[in-house]
A and B are shown apart, each in its own frame.
Chain A
Amino acid sequence: MREAIGPILRPHRPLIALAGAAMVGATAVSLAAPLLVKIAIDRGIGHHDVHVIDVIALVYVVLVLVRPVLERAIVLCSARAGERFLGDLRVAAYDKLQALSLPFFEQTKAGVLVSRLTADVQTLTTFTRLVLVEVVGSVLLFLVSIAILIALSPLLSLVMLVSVPLLVWSSLRYGKRSRPAFLALRDRVADTMTSLQEGLAGVRVVQSFGRETDRYASYRARSRAQVSAWRRISLVNIGFFPMIAFAQSLALAAVLVVGGYLHRNGRVSVGTIVAFALYLISLFDPIARLGDWFSEFQSGRAALTKIALLLETPATVAGGSTPVPAEGALVAENVTFAYGGGAPAVREVSLSIDAGEHLALVGATGAGKSTLAKLLVRGYDPVEGRVAFAGVDLRDAPLDELRRRIVFVPQEGHLFSGTIADNIRLAGPGAPDEQVRDALRAIGALERFERLPAGLATDVRSRGVRLSSGERQLVSIARVALADPAVIVLDEATSSLDPQNEAAVEHALGVLARGRTVITIAHRLSTAERADRVAVLEHGRLVEIASHAELVAQGDRYARLWASWQAGLS
């Protein structure tokens, strides 16, 4: 955890140190009071000296004035350090997501990732703002109180030890019992959440089978189990925290009794006894307060650990440093790839795509078309063989440069919140409006979007509910036009659009393809027919590659596909 969090924490160390210093100061001020009381009793009251009382009051005026300043410094410094640290942590986690490659996202649930960056960071907010200050402050108060007590009267400090066996016994017991109880709670919470999440995410299925009552009942059982897990924690707590209050009274009583005897022998003053009793409160209060914050403290630590784990995930696809030429052939040499130890999804595929060539990938679902496409854009790295662009192994190329040369366009046009222009500009941050318009104009879609009430400034709203799926595809094509890459790898949409939109999208793709290398995962053979060459995949292997006409003439697999496609149309 330290490697991941340390560098993020480092810039905030001065502020943290400042908050710490203020905390030490504030603790000193609160601990000064009993000492002043002692002097007032022994020197002022004991010697009937009004002057001493006035001086003490004056000293205390200064402390009263200093204390709020210190307290304010603690709040401000810890909030600044805490919030900025969390901001940096959040940004680091987000950057990490950008650095991680597709396999990671395919193996990790989206909900989990979202909660890392949101819920977990939120938990840490309470942690840094309140818990840390409370916990550190309490520990500090505790330690300094002990030191003062010993300095004040070693003898009475020994007396105070009567409470130690009780404290040690109950803390040991608590330590042993609390961990399993808290762990059990986490498990029960996870159970409830799973049940809840399933019921809500699958609410359509639940409703369509009319099984609401069953679902609720099975959820309720888990919800009850969570309540019982809490009860066990409360029973564990009962055995510990109240013991502190009892130990405190025991220590207080013992100090007073022994103090009374010692006073008669003249070995301690009244002031010392009173001060000692006052310090006992500052000694035990922090322990009790720690109990109030304990579970928050634990969940904060857990959240930090989870974020650290994300930050420490090694990026499976890291960039190299060989510069990438602007153009060239895209070559796969003997490429094999398997998902996480399974059977290879792509086996020993070799193919070379010249600059400006249009290639269609054809094959049944699961034949390896999408996997091959992802290998060509370095979404994954091959297990064996290599993929090279213009002679440079993709693994040796800097990632950002590579992404500018080779662009992957998934089926669905995913929109981000913001305006249409913002969405297109995703492909070229900082591109001026004119460039965005040029990209749209080039693909023949400018007029269509300008007709919208707010033109390109139209807000697409989250997930683009207001744009039709044809329009979404046009936006995603415009992005590519703006990015102006040498190679486009396109996953053709499977769903059909209405004829007008279909024509617009096809036109846009046609313009985009001009003068670029285009590799299309073809779901329609009409697309394959238009390509320069067609590559047919079967069970991960490249079984045929040639032009459409040649393959049809060959009369083998592709020819059969083509025939059945034609048959489907007539």
Chain B
Amino acid sequence: MDGGWRYLGVVGRRLRWTIAGAVASGLAWQGAAIAAPLLIRHAVDAGVVQGHRSALWWACGGLVALGAVEAAGGASRHYFAIRNRALADAYVRDGIFRRALDLDAHYHDRVGAGELISRASNDAELVARVFDSIGHTIGYVLTLAGASAVLVVIDWRLAVAVLAPLPLVSIGFGRYSARYASRTKINQEELGELTALVEETISGIRVVKGLGAGAALSARFRRKSDDVVRTALEVANVDAVFLPALEALPLVGILVVLWYGGHRVLSGEITVGTFALFNFYLALLVNPLRTIGQRVSTVQRAVAAARRVVDVLSAEPEVVESAQARPFPESAAVRFEDVRFSYGGERPILDGFSLQIPAGTSLALVGATGSGKSTAAALLARFYDPVRGRVTIGGVDVRDLKLDELRRSVGLVFEETFLFGDTVSGNLGFGAPGAGDDAIQHAARLAGADEFVERLPEGYETMLGERGFSLSGGQRQRIAIARAILADPQVLILDDATSAVDATKEQEIRAALAEVMAGRTTLVIAHRPATIALADRVAVVDGGRVVEEGTHAELLARSSRYRALLALATAEAVA
């Protein structure tokens, strides 16, 4: 069976009790609706035409009672529908988020956050709609079946004449469903391209504005948008064939009742009440047929969405904890042994990369963009696994260490700082929940963040992030450094973590950084000579391997390559 359908089945099993509730209430709701015309017939025949007062009263009392049942059934149908929708939505979303947190960097490099968010919101919503409509749809199916059955019992000849076109519907249904699915898919692909163009434009807006390329892009967007409109209309064309046919069915039935039924009343074979009854049932069928027609698209879209959800859920992380994982070692000596690594089969970023950082010492990696510095740092925190060779801490291959202990013991500060929508202290304490205010302020002081934090409107309680106070790049980096310091990792990696801190400020926090690095195994990736000089030793990386090693002073003296790299890298010096 198709993965999308199977996933809908999984969600369905999960919600079986509320679905059962939805089905039961859907049946009660439409069951009452089906019984009502029978009472109307009684009221017309016995009450109105023959003038039996008590029959009239009984029938009408019954109608009110049925109305109450219908209302109660409808109420619980509404309740269960929304309940199912909310639960299915949450279930899908939760599943995706949980999975995404466990997936490794390989996956997240390939599938961006935007894509995952769209899975967890849009696709979850599409899946949830199917569960929203279950009670409703089942109720309507009952109406179709029940009304047909009642009609057959009351007057099978008229019923057969009225219901003859129904089998045609089911044939049409299958064809409609298939055509709808294929055309919707094309439309979705066009929409995907359109979305990509919007994203590119917004992320590259400086280029667009700088070049005045707006007109060219607008023209391209217009073409893409036209494609979307065209393919959407092709979907509508399928609707335009099928939906009118569905609507026409009850009308054909009414026609049959009017003519054939009318003749039969005149010949005395059926009563006026029966005649009215047939009309009532056909009126009852209009909505169900229409709604069931619309469900085809709900289900088709849900299946497509479920397939996309399954894509995420079935992704397996390549970086997994080994069965005999060991605790983090006492000594944090780091070794890279002849490491080779490439991102997804491309040419290797690291090849024959060997490096040693004795426990408690610091080392700076220096090299041009793309030389593999950050990759080496990511391998140490085990965001990826090497293709060949190994990375060890305290003599133990990082692949044999408990993953969460490794991650907590290796603190990694990236150039791109990500802050959460939380207070400053919440952000600082992210890696060390339960840290006291003193510890938080101490870490902030070491990272040179205390001064500006205290000047913020609400100091350490100021909200940061998307909807909060926006900090400059340098301030954000200092928060990130403080966050890492507070977690007190045994191995600290600063991956270009001070690039946006201006040189004067960096000068000021150098002493503090030196304090943080003292006695801690530290890997620093930096461009500014002053920062590099903080490290005990320097390794020059080129073409995916370490080509030179020594202290800053030694390399400056002996290596022209090193001097050239620093010359390129020296950005704004002391101003």
Contacts and interface: CB of A to CB of B under 8 A. Distances in A.
Given A75-B244, A203-B113, A223-B93, A565 B570 contact: yes
Contact of A209 (B105, B408, B465): B408
Contacts of A53: 258-259, 262-263, 266
Interface stretch (B148-156, B218-226, B508-516): B218-226
A227 B502 contact: no
SS class of chain A's interface: helix, strand, loop or mixed? helix
Given A196-B93, A237-B82, A109 B573 contact: no
B563 A98 contact: no
A190 to B, nearest CB: 10
B48 A273 contact: yes
Contact of A245 (B71, B101, B210, B275): B71
A114 B205 CA distance: 12
Contact of B568 (A41, A83, A281, A502): A502
28 contacts: A37-B276, A45-B262, A53-B258, A53-B259, A87-B229, A90-B221, A91-B221, A94-B225, A129-B236, A196-B117, A197-B113, A227-B87, A230-B83, A242-B75, A245-B71, A252-B36, A253-B63, A274-B44, A274-B276, A410-B207, A416-B204, A426-B208, A469-B369, A497-B568, A498-B369, A499-B564, A525-B573, A569-B567
A316 interface: no
Closest 7 CB pairs of A and B: A249-B67, A403-B212, A408-B210, A79-B236, A98-B214, A364-B575, A57-B259
Contacts of B294: 130
Contacts of B414: 204-205
B78 A476 contact: no
B275 A45 contact: yes
A366 B502 contact: yes
B276 A102 contact: no
Given A64-B255, A102-B205, A414-B203, 5 more contacts: A67-B244, A122-B191, A210-B404, A214-B433, A249-B71
Contacts of A564: 573-574
A63 B251 contact: yes
B344 to A, nearest CB: 10
B24 interface: no
A21 to B, nearest CB: 16
A321 interface: no
A400 B431 contact: no
Interface stretch (B52-60, B333-341, B352-360, B452-460): B52-60
Contact of A260 (B47, B258, B410): B47
B574 A561 contact: yes
Contact of A497 (B85, B368, B407): B368
B255 A201 contact: no
Interface in B92-113: 93-94, 97-98, 100-102, 105, 108, 113
A278 B74 contact: no
A208 B411 contact: yes
B243 A71 contact: yes
A260 B48 contact: yes
Given A209-B408, A253-B64, A403-B212, A87 B226 contact: yes
Contact of A568 (B114, B272, B529): B529
B400 interface: no
Contacts of A270: 44, 48-49, 272
A237 B132 CA distance: 14
Interface residues of B, number: 171
A498 B368 contact: yes
A79 B233 contact: yes
Contacts of A504: none
Contacts of A247: 67
Interface in B263-305: 263, 265-266, 272, 275-276, 279-280, 283-284, 286-287, 294
Contacts of A557: 575
Given A30-B286, A230-B85, A71 B248 contact: yes
Contacts of B206: 102, 408, 410, 414
Interface in A32-65: 33-34, 36-37, 40-41, 44-45, 48, 50, 53-54, 56-57, 60-61, 63-64
* Candidate in B71, B94, B467, B556 with the most chain A CB atoms within 10 angstroms: B71
SS class of chain B's interface: helix, strand, loop or mixed? helix
A176 interface: no
B173 interface: no
A403 B211 contact: yes
Nearest to A232: B82
Contacts of A429: 213, 215-216, 219
Interface in A551-570: 557, 560-561, 564-565, 568-570
Contact of A90 (B225, B404, B412): B225
B263 A50 contact: yes
A238 B209 contact: no
A403 B219 CA distance: 17
Contact of A242 (B71, B108, B556): B71
B466 A250 contact: no
Contacts of B89: 226
A75 to B, nearest CB: 4
Interface string A446-463: 000000000000000011
A513 to B, nearest CB: 16
Interface string B123-147: 0000000000000100000000000
Nearest to B527: A496
Contact of B202 (A37, A91, A114, A256): A114
Contact of B205 (A67, A105, A200, A204): A105
Interface stretch (B193-201, B386-394, B441-449): B193-201
B320 interface: no
B255 A61 contact: yes
Interface string A193-207: 110111111111111
Contacts of B472: 366
B504 interface: yes
A483 B225 contact: no
Contacts of B72: 242
A226 B92 CA distance: 14
Contact of A64 (B53, B74, B252): B252
Given A109-B466, A216-B97, A200 B209 contact: no
Given A67-B251, A565-B570, A249 B48 contact: no
Contacts of A565: 570, 573
Nearest to A399: B212
Interface string A269-297: 01001100110011001001101100000
* Candidate in B29, B75, B272 with the most chain A CB atoms within 10 angstroms: B75
A97 B203 CA distance: 12
A80 interface: yes
Contacts of B233: 79-80, 83
A64 B162 CA distance: 14
Given A212-B102, A241-B78, A410-B206, A67 B44 contact: no
B410 to A, nearest CB: 8
Contact of A202 (B236, B266, B418, B567): B418
Contacts of A256: 40, 43-44, 47-48, 56, 59-60, 63
A322 interface: no
Contacts of A257: 47, 56-57, 60
A231 B574 contact: no
Interface in B29-71: 29, 33, 36, 40, 43-44, 47-49, 51, 53, 56-57, 59-61, 63-64, 66-68, 70-71
